[in-house]
């Protein structure tokens, strides 16, 4: 039983020890409409997700710099990324990006995620889209007014 | 017709499982030998019927029977035969059937080789295993029938997910499941001991080889999964702290703790209730892992096709099993503990610390895995917890664990004389500290605090593991030498040391570079030059691919040519990255094709991964250590038979 | 005694917590804003014959399924045999929206795997998909004779969801008329 006691103490110490690390490594998922409205964690990384807008992928010929727009069916956010893309990244498909909002309102992604399964959409992305598809039935809604419905 | 035979066999297996789950337990209670005997017969019958069902499903795959929904969804005419077989366990329904088959194989092994156990005890073990089997068979038949028909039949199937068309992944699930399910034996032994209210050192001796066997398969299974992720997911990581990986890692951590705690219970009759708790926990975490992976409750890149009904079923089953086991524990365990003292400086103390640290590690992994769910339910928003957190959190218990490991191995039971301890360990300790600083500087030109700690710890474990085997070599003449058990321990710890070295070096000196390359371009990474010679089209059996021919040179001297590919599978139309890897024992050079950039250029990821093979090689050595330990004379007979059964399970799977 | 109860209490807590987590339901089972509302108007060139169109006019006056599909979508292939079965049994007319696809690939698909659709409209740009609130293929809508969306199914259609989600609605419609 000494062991149980020690284990509890050990967990407590380790938990406190790592709580700070926990906060630093927690990454919030933010709706694109909220990002546009200015409601996102400043000074730290967060995640966004949505559909890659059709025809929005631009890349300079021969360069790894890439720009595209992501939509939550209400607002669009330009994203820039440099690097290798996951196999399932494509226009019209769901995508999740890690990064932070840079100057001029461009989301600078340091990581792009897509799933193993083409048919599988990250639940937070699906939920975010659903919210705004619903919003679409009321053309003039509160909140991020500058976003025009698609 | 064949699928119907399979389904019927499953139903028969269920009825036998019910007999096996009820009669021996009642018999043991009433001391009725005939009823207890039923368990052995039922276990054999159940195994045969499940094997028939498994065979029928395999046959449906091999004969391209697309009137079976599961086959239509996971196979295709042009799929290579090997993958038609491995497709059997590529998705939820089939892998559940394999899980059941493995459970039956373990049960059969226990029933065949339990002749030295008291009949009452083995009857209870078989009864508990039978009840577990009832749960899983019901799960398969009620929610996940692999034999569901599709009418009219499909002309061709939807193909196996290309990621799974790989030899590593074909054998990864069987090994992993043999490990997962193997902990059910330790669980059943624990329940049987609590039911009889009798737990002695013999109990620990019986339980140990089974647990070690399950542990070594789990080790190999996890190692293969990591290796597969490394070369097949395309981007060169070897562990991602994904919930599904964590689901297999938590039982491993607890299983490792259990192996050590069983040693104390066997040798000294201590830690009895703690050992019982670990045996229950190891299997419970296997069940929890199944739940997390198959219910869709947690977001993971591996997710099986999910279905809330299945989630509720497993959760209910898991709840019944664990709550019943722990209730029994709360009732019976208090009377089992014995108070034998041990000195502060004794092997008991070190094994206790080992257990505490491993349990802390498993708890941290569990916390990190469940945290997104907890925070979401508390309306704290949707968060994800990245690998950096796990890496930091995990080191907290791991650093003391590896440092104490070297000491613990050379500490005697009951009490240890500090002076002789220092005499034995002085040299390895000094060597580890010095070499931990010097070697990285010498070979990789850099050193640092964490690097020296990791490298030194790895060397410390390796050197201190070698002491005992080396000594026994020197004193060959007629003396007893080292037991298999002790040798197994040394070898497993040696593997752990190699693993620690590999992890340290690859995290410190890994170089990764993403570049745009056109044929004719060369880039330099470390001392190595990578020249893309040409791009060409290649046709595979069920895919077409673009292949880059990349020549690797070191300081201008030709080393090797690798051919990374970007494949498009013809049926599912998705793209897959096949990395080109040039591996030697002390480093991997890894090239993966990214995207077409226009103007004939491709993005290419090039990586230099020093000593990454030590990670998997270390895990194999750990498993080998387990194998040596189960072959100890004390349980030699049983050990031979079990590895036979293990092999049989792999072959039939 | 009490310390031996501790694991039991902890585990019961964990299990209750997981029950709540599971009750939260499948995050992908999303309500559609269109359920109970008129289906969006649409008119698309037919997949097989770009000169002709298929659209809301064809749907009206009958209970029908609208199935959003694409050749690049794995789930669509999974549900295809079931759609063929519905068609073979004359269960209900199925209209397709071929979404974000290319015409030659879509035509080849239908030729190779069979065509369960009365007609498919070709929506290469995904415009109609947006009007219908589609966020991934496959999706299947059940539209009543007077053009009301009765149900929306996300992901591959299979027998289980057909029997539990579609059939009661279809039977309900039948008895009302």
Query: Is residue C107 included in any domain, yes or no?
Result: yes
Question: Taking CB atoms and an 8 Å limit, are C113 and B311 in contact across chains?
Answer: no
Is A138 an 8 Å CB contact of chain C?
A: no
Q: Which of C19, C77, C84 sits opposite B315 (nearest CB)?
A: C19
How far apart (Å, rounded) are the C-alpha atoms in residues A26 and A15? 15
3-state SS, chain C, equals CHHHHHHHHHHHHHHHHHHHHHHCCCCCCCCCCCECCECCCCEEEECCCCCCEEEHHHHCCCCEEEEEECCCCHHHHHHHHHHHHHHHCCCCCEEEEEECCCHHHHHHHHHHHCCCCCEEEEECCCHHHHHCCCCCCCEEEEECCCCEEEEEEECCCCHHHHHHHHHHHHHHHHHHC
Three-state secondary-structure class, residue B210: helix
Range of the domain at C157: 35-170
Closest alpha carbon to B453 in B493, B399, B498: B399
Question: Taking CB atoms and an 8 Å limit, are A11 and B364 in contact across chains?
Answer: yes
Query: Is residue C18 included in any domain, yes or no?
Result: no
Is C15 an 8 Å CB contact of chain B?
A: yes
Closest alpha carbon to C156 in B313, A116, B305, B311: B305
Q: How far is CA B54 from the centre of its chain?
A: 23
pLDDT digits (tens, 9 = 90+) for B435-493: 999 999 988 888 888 899 999 999 999 999 999 898 888 876 666 678 889 999 999 99
Residue A145 is encoded by which pair of tokens? 């007014």
Percent of chain B at pLDDT exceeding 90: 57
User: What pLDDT is stored for residue B354 in this prediction?
Assistant: 93
Q: How many CB pairs under 8 A join A and C?
A: 54
Beta carbons of C47 and B317 less than 8 angstroms apart: no
How far apart (Å, rounded) are the C-alpha atoms in residues B302 and B95? 14
To test the contact with chain C by mutation, choose from A52, A130, A135, A149 the residue with the greatest count of C C-beta atoms within 10 A, namely: A130
Question: Taking CB atoms and an 8 Å limit, are B72 and C71 in contact across chains?
Answer: no
Strands (E) located in B527-624: 528-539, 543-554, 557-562, 565-569, 575-578, 580-584, 587-598, 601-610
Query: Is residue C91 included in any domain, yes or no?
Result: yes
Q: Which of B356, B396, B575 sits opposite A87 (nearest CB)?
A: B575
pLDDT digits (tens, 9 = 90+) for C114-127: 899 999 999 887 77
Residue B115 is encoded by which pair of tokens? 């002749």
pLDDT digits (tens, 9 = 90+) for C28-75: 444 455 677 788 888 899 998 888 999 888 888 888 999 998 876 666
A128 pLDDT band (50/70/90 cuts)?
A: confident
Residue B221 is encoded by which pair of tokens? 């299974």
The larger pLDDT score, comparing residue C27 to residue C87, is at: C87
pLDDT digits (tens, 9 = 90+) for B144-172: 899 988 766 777 777 787 778 888 878 89
Query: Is residue C153 included in any domain, yes or no?
Result: yes
Per-residue exposure over C35-56, b if at least 16 CB sit within 10 Å of its own CB, e if not = eeeebeebebbbbbeeeebbbe
Is B375 an 8 Å CB contact of chain C?
A: no
Three-state secondary-structure class, residue B407: helix
User: What pLDDT is stored for residue C176 in this prediction?
Assistant: 47
Which A residues 59-78 touch C at CB under 8 Å? 73
Average pLDDT, chain B: 88
H or E element at residue B265: helix B243-268
Query: Is residue C175 included in any domain, yes or no?
Result: no
Query: Is residue C85 included in any domain, yes or no?
Result: yes
pLDDT digits (tens, 9 = 90+) for B66-81: 888 889 888 888 899 9
User: What pLDDT is stored for residue B298 in this prediction?
Assistant: 63
Query: Is residue C3 included in any domain, yes or no?
Result: no
pLDDT digits (tens, 9 = 90+) for B602-643: 999 999 999 999 999 999 999 999 999 998 877 655 444 555
State how far residue A72 is from chain C, nearest Cα, in angstroms: 10
Q: Which of C27, C37, C135 sits opposite A51 (nearest CB)?
A: C135
Question: Taking CB atoms and an 8 Å limit, are A84 and B594 in contact across chains?
Answer: yes
A17 pLDDT band (50/70/90 cuts)?
A: low
Strands (E) located in A1-129: 26-28, 46-52, 58-59, 65-71, 76-82, 94-101, 107-113
B234 pLDDT band (50/70/90 cuts)?
A: low
Average pLDDT, chain C: 81
Is C21 an 8 Å CB contact of chain B?
A: yes
How far apart (Å, rounded) are the C-alpha atoms in residues C59 and C39? 10
Is the ipTM beyond the 0.90 threshold? Answer: no
Q: In terms of C-beta density within 10 A (0-12 exposed, 13-18 middle, 19 or more buried), how is residue C127 classed?
A: middle
To test the contact with chain B by mutation, choose from C9, C22, C102, C165 the residue with the greatest count of B C-beta atoms within 10 A, namely: C22
Is C118 an 8 Å CB contact of chain B?
A: no
Residue B201: how many CB atoms within 10 A of its CB?
13
User: What pLDDT is stored for residue B345 in this prediction?
Assistant: 86
Closest alpha carbon to B59 in B138, B145, B1: B1
How far apart (Å, rounded) are the C-alpha atoms in residues B246 and B240? 9
What is the number of domains present in chain C? 1
Q: Which of A25, A64, A118 sits opposite B514 (nearest CB)?
A: A64
Three-state secondary-structure class, residue B263: helix
pTM for this entry? 0.85
pLDDT digits (tens, 9 = 90+) for B184-233: 999 999 999 999 888 888 899 999 999 999 999 999 999 999 998 888 87
Question: Taking CB atoms and an 8 Å limit, are A150 and C130 in contact across chains?
Answer: yes
How far apart (Å, rounded) are the C-alpha atoms in residues B388 and B273? 35
CATH architecture of A27-147: Beta Barrel (2.40)
User: What pLDDT is stored for residue B296 in this prediction?
Assistant: 64
Question: Taking CB atoms and an 8 Å limit, are A127 and C30 in contact across chains?
Answer: yes
B509 pLDDT band (50/70/90 cuts)?
A: very high
Question: Taking CB atoms and an 8 Å limit, are B363 and A11 in contact across chains?
Answer: yes
Whether A148 shows a pLDDT value over 70: the answer reads no
Query: Is residue C71 included in any domain, yes or no?
Result: yes
First-to-last alpha carbon distance for chain B, in angstroms, is 22
Q: How far is CA B330 from the centre of its chain?
A: 30
B376 contacts in chain C (CB < 8 Å): 24
State how far residue C62 is from chain B, nearest Cα, in angstroms: 26
Closest residue of A to C138, CA-based?
A: A119
**Helix ranges (DSSP H) in B476-518:** 484-509
Read off the pLDDT of each residue in B313-330 and give the average, rounded to a whole number. Answer: 94
3-state SS, A64-100, equals CEEEEEEECCCCEEEEEEECCCCCCCCCCCEEEEEEE
Is A114 an 8 Å CB contact of chain C?
A: no
A4 contacts in chain C (CB < 8 Å): 3, 6
CATH value at residue C137: 3.40.30.10
Closest residue of B to A14, CA-based?
A: B396
State how far residue A8 is from chain C, nearest Cα, in angstroms: 11
Residue A86: how many CB atoms within 10 A of its CB?
20
């Amino acid at each position: 039983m000494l062991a149980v006691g020690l284990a509890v103490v050990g967990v407590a110490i380790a938990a406190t020890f790592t709580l700070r690390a926990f906060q630093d490594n927690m990454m919030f998922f933010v709706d694109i409409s909220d990002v546009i409205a200015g409601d996102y964690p400043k000074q730290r990384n967060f995640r966004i997700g949505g559909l890659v807008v059709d025809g929005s992928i631009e890349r300079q010929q021969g360069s790894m710099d890439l720009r595209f727009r992501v939509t939550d069916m209400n607002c669009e956010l330009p994203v820039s990324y440099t690097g290798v893309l996951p196999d399932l990244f494509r226009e019209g498909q769901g995508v999740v990006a890690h990064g932070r909002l840079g100057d001029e309102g461009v989301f600078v992604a340091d990581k792009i995620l897509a799933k193993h399964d083409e048919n599988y959409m990250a639940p937070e992305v699906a939920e975010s889209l659903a919210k705004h598809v619903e919003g679409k039935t009321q053309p003039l809604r509160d909140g991020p007014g500058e976003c025009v419905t698609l | 017709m064949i699928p119907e035979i399979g389904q019927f066999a499953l139903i028969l297996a269920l009825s036998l499982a019910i007999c096996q789950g009820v009669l021996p337990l009642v018999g043991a209670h009433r001391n009725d030998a005939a009823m207890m005997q039923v368990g052995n017969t039922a276990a054999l019958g159940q195994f045969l019927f499940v094997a028939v069902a498994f065979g029928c499903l395999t046959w449906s795959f091999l004969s391209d029977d697309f009137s079976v929904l599961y086959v239509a969804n996971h196979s295709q005419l042009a799929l290579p035969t090997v993958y038609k077989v491995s497709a059997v366990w590529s998705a939820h329904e089939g892998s559940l059937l394999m899980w059941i088959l493995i459970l039956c194989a373990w049960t059969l092994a226990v029933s065949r080789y339990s002749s030295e156990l008291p009949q009452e005890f083995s009857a209870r073990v078989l009864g508990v295993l039978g009840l577990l089997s009832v749960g899983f068979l019901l799960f398969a038949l009620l929610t996940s029938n692999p034999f569901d028909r599709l009418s009219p039949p499909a002309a061709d199937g939807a193909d196996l997910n290309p990621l799974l068309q790989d030899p590593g992944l074909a054998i990864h699930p069987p090994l992993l499941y043999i490990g997962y399910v193997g902990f059910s034996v330790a669980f059943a032994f624990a329940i049987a001991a609590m039911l009889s209210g009798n737990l002695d050192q013999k109990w620990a001796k019986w339980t140990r080889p089974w647990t070690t066997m399950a542990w070594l398969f789990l080790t190999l299974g996890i190692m293969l999964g990591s290796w597969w992720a490394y070369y097949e997911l395309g981007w060169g990581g070897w562990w991602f702290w994904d919930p599904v990986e964590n689901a297999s890692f938590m039982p491993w951590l607890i299983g490792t703790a259990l192996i050590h705690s069983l040693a104390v219970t066997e040798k000294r009759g201590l830690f009895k209730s703690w050992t019982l708790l670990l045996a229950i926990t190891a299997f419970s975490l296997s069940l929890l892992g199944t739940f997390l992976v198959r219910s869709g409750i947690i977001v993971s890149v591996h997710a099986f096709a999910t279905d809330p009904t299945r989630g509720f079923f497993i959760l209910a089953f898991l709840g019944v099993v664990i709550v019943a086991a722990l209730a029994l524990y709360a009732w019976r365990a208090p009377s089992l503990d014995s108070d034998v003292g041990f000195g502060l400086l004794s092997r008991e103390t070190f094994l206790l610390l080992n257990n505490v640290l491993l349990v802390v590690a498993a708890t941290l992994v569990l916390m990190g895995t469940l945290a997104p769910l907890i925070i979401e339910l508390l309306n704290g928003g949707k968060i994800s917890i990245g690998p950096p957190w796990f890496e930091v959190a995990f080191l907290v218990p791991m650093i003391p664990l590896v440092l104490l490991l070297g000491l613990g191995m050379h500490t005697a039971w009951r009490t240890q004389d500090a002076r002789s301890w220092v005499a034995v360990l002085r040299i390895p300790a000094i060597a580890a500290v010095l070499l931990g600083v010097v070697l990285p500087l010498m070979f990789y030109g850099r050193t640092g605090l964490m690097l020296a700690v990791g490298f030194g710890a790895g060397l410390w474990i390796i050197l201190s593991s070698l002491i005992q085997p080396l000594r026994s070599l020197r004193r060959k003449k007629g003396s007893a030498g080292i037991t298999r058990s002790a040798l197994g321990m040394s070898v497993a710890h040696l593997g752990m040391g190699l693993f620690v070295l590999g992890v340290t070096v690859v995290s410190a000196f890994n170089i990764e570079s993403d570049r745009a390359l056109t044929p004719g371009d060369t880039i330099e990474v470390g001392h190595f030059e990578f020249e893309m010679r040409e791009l060409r089209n290649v046709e595979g059996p069920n895919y077409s691919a673009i292949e880059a021919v990349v020549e690797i040179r070191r300081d201008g001297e030709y080393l090797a040519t690798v051919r990374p590919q970007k494949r498009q599978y013809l049926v599912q139309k998705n793209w897959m990255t096949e990395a080109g890897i040039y591996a030697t024992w002390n480093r991997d050079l890894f090239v993966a094709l990214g995207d077409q950039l226009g103007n004939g250029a491709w993005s290419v990821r090039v990586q230099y991964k020093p000593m990454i093979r030590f990670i998997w090689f270390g895990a194999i050595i750990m498993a080998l250590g387990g194998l040596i330990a189960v072959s100890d004379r004390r349980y030699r007979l049983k050990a031979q038979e079990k590895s036979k059964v293990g092999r049989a399970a792999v072959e039939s799977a | 005694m009490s310390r031996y109860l501790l694991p039991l209490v902890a585990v019961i807590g964990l299990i209750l917590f997981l029950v709540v987590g599971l009750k939260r339901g499948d995050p992908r089972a999303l309500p559609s804003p269109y359920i109970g509302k008129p289906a969006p108007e649409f008119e698309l060139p037919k997949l097989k014959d770009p000169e002709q169109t298929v659209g809301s006019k064809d749907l009206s006056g009958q209970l029908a399924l609208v199935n959003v599909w694409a050749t690049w979508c794995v789930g669509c292939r999974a549900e295809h045999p079931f759609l063929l079965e519905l068609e073979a049994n004359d269960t209900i007319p199925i209209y397709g929206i071929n979404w974000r696809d290319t015409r030659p690939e879509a035509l080849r698909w239908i030729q190779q795997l069979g065509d369960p659709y009365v007609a498919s409209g070709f929506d290469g740009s995904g415009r109609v998909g947006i009007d219908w609130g589609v966020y991934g293929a496959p999706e299947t809508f059940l539209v009543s004779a007077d053009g009301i969306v009765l149900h929306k199914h996300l992901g591959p259609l299979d027998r289980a969801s057909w029997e539990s989600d579609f059939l009661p609605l279809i039977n309900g419609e039948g008895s009302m008329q």
